[in-house]
Amino acid sequence: MNLRKEPVHGFTVIFDKDFRKGIDYLRDDLQREEAKVIFYSARRNKNAEFEDDHDRDWTLIYNEGEGTYTLIKRERE
């Protein structure tokens, strides 16, 4: 596991380097206001699930003690 930490629209996200496509989607494909909805939902509900344009499933988890977010990839059921 190779963890990285990067800002995305002003939010700090922790992610495995293999999940770069999820970070790119949040940062580059969504407008800032669209991405903020996902971040705010994760903070309010402890996590937020979303799907990118290539049907990959992601979960953004809010790390309450740190005020950061962790991005993980979900497998299709």
- pLDDT tens figures, 56-72: 999 999 999 999 999 99
Phi, psi of 70 (to 5 degrees): -120, 130
23: left (phi over 0), alpha (psi -120 to 50) or beta: alpha
Q: Average of pLDDT values for 2-16?
A: 97
Residue 36 CA to residue 40 CA, distance in Å, equals 6
Query: What pLDDT is attached to residue 75?
Result: 81
DSSP letter at 31 equals: -
Query: What pLDDT is attached to residue 77?
Result: 63
Q: Is the pTM of this model over 0.75?
A: yes
Asked if 12 and 70 count as a contact pair (C-beta separation under 8 A), the reply is: no
